Amino acid sequence: MSSPLLGCIADDFTGATDLASMLVRSGMRTVQLIGVPAEDDSVPDADAIVVALKSRTSPAGEAVAESLAALAWLRRAGCRQFFQKYCSTFDSTEHGNIGPVADALVAALDCGFALACPAFPANGRSVYQGHLFVGATLLNQSGMELHPLTPMTDANLVRVLGRQTEGNVGLVPFATVDRGPGATRDAMTALKERGHRYAIVDAITDAHLATIGEAASAHALLTGGSGVALGLPENFRRVGLLPVREAAGALPEVTGAAAVIAGSCSRATLFQIGTAREHLPTLELDALATPDAPALVRQALDWANGKLGAAPVVIAGSANPERVAALQQKIGRAAAGELIETALADIAAGLVARGVRRMVVAGGETSGAVVTRLGVKRLRIGAEIDPGVPWTYAEGGAAPLLMALKSGNFGARDFFLKAFAV
């Protein structure tokens, strides 16, 4: 068994599968590990390993410590290049955690410089002149300014990252990237030589992402969304380290009942729930009226009795921003998040105990809670349902399980139907 080539650290579970699906699409066998592996955990037989943390909204010191522990394990596993994965909407607060974690990784690798590019054109995320767009809308006008945990009120990523790090942040603009890998590589080298620690790199097409990946072939560390990983597999293939693989995303067949667990409050997920409501049995939990996790779990599992089968049931703890704010005001911000996560995780466990073997989970925080509750340790990554959302085969839990962990912002309106071919 050869050593893995690429070691990745993701700040939430759906972001990890998003990145892993990009690597599988490009021919790298990829395994996602849940949390920092134990020192004596075996190294998966894979070309790429993605360590999924739940560090996006944790205290900065905790996020840094976990990320450094993951980096140390990946280095011992033999990885040659490293990737810090965060959301394509650059989800963070004024104080982190993207900047503090990147600073720590740059220092640990003694590389002095890293690029930063959250662009993912296939899902409508582009970076132009350092500004992040969601479709044709600036980030701070896209709905992300209302995010309950990481409100994004500035689309200028040079400024946003600059507020999170003591290092200088520069820009490699569209006109440079559009000239190809050589010009992009030279621009990043020039920024590093002038004392910049980071470069925000523009990208509006997949061709730009491939250019950036090739330009960064010699960089120890890259940071960004999953899109910028598009060009990395070919770098390894070009120097003879990665063979052509025809079935990098092959997964075991799993049959059983199907379910959707939705906790994200993003516009995309709310639209998906609305579409599902027209076609599938759908229960929308009201945590504001019933702020009691065990009661919500009983309600959901009682409702699901007699409805489980090949077509999915949908159980949602999602709500519009006004109801989220009202719940936070009623019981506190942290308690509100914990209530929803605990309830949905326990509902997922109850559904698995009742025979569910195929499950979609919507929302990064929700996915982390569900996977942890089910005892899943590893996910082998399969084919995509929509860009950035693959099916995975879960290992370590009580039963064989196919799971799709969906970022709240990802997927078409009919995603829940498409996932199960309804």
pLDDT, average across residues 342-368: 95
C-beta separation of 161 from 116 below 8 A: yes
The span from the CA of 248 to the CA of 383, in Å, is 9
The span from the CA of 234 to the CA of 209, in Å, is 12
pTM of the model: 0.85
Among residues of the chain, what percentage have pLDDT more than 70?
100
Give the pair of three-digit tokens for residue 193. Answer: 């030589």
121-175 per-position pLDDT tens digit: 988 999 999 999 999 999 999 989 988 889 999 999 999 999 999 999 999 999 9
31-48 per-position pLDDT tens digit: 999 999 999 899 999 999
The pLDDT, as a whole number, for residue 249 is 87
Instruction: Judge whether residue 422 has pLDDT over 80.
Output: no
Instruction: Judge whether residue 351 has pLDDT over 80.
Output: yes
The pLDDT, as a whole number, for residue 164 is 97
- For the chain, the farthest-separated pair of C-alpha atoms sits apart, in whole angstroms, at 66
pLDDT, average across residues 331-346: 93
Number of Cβ within 10 Å of residue 227's Cβ equals 30
Question: What is the residue-averaged pLDDT of the chain?
Answer: 94
Residues 6+ away with beta carbon under 8 Å from 387: 120, 122, 123, 410
Report how far apart, in Å, the C-alpha atoms of 358 and of each of 33, 170, 290, 311, 404 are.
19, 44, 28, 10, 8
93-119 per-position pLDDT tens digit: 988 999 999 999 999 999 999 999 999
The span from the CA of 148 to the CA of 56, in Å, is 13
Instruction: Judge whether residue 1 has pLDDT over 70.
Output: no
Q: Which residue has the tokens 């509750």?
A: 373
Cα end-to-end distance, the chain, whole Å? 40
The pLDDT, as a whole number, for residue 304 is 98
pLDDT band for position 396 (50/70/90)?
A: confident
Q: DSSP labels for 7-59?
A: EEEESSHHHHHHHHHHHHHTT--EEEEESSPPTTPPPPSSSEEEEE---SSS-
Give the phi and the psi of residue 156 in degrees, each rounded to 5: -85, 105
From the CA atom positions of the chain, what is the Rg in Å? 20
C-beta separation of 57 from 23 below 8 A: no
165-213 per-position pLDDT tens digit: 999 999 999 999 999 999 999 999 999 999 999 999 999 999 999 999 9
Residues 6+ away with beta carbon under 8 Å from 285: 296, 299, 300, 315, 316, 317, 343
pLDDT, average across residues 291-304: 97
The runs of H, that is alpha helices, within 59-166 are 60-76, 98-109, 157-162
C-beta separation of 406 from 391 below 8 A: no
Instruction: Judge whether residue 72 has pLDDT over 90.
Output: yes
Full set of structural domains in the chain with CATH: 6-238 (3.40.50.10840), 257-419 (3.40.980.20)
pLDDT band for position 387 (50/70/90)?
A: confident
pLDDT band for position 83 (50/70/90)?
A: very high
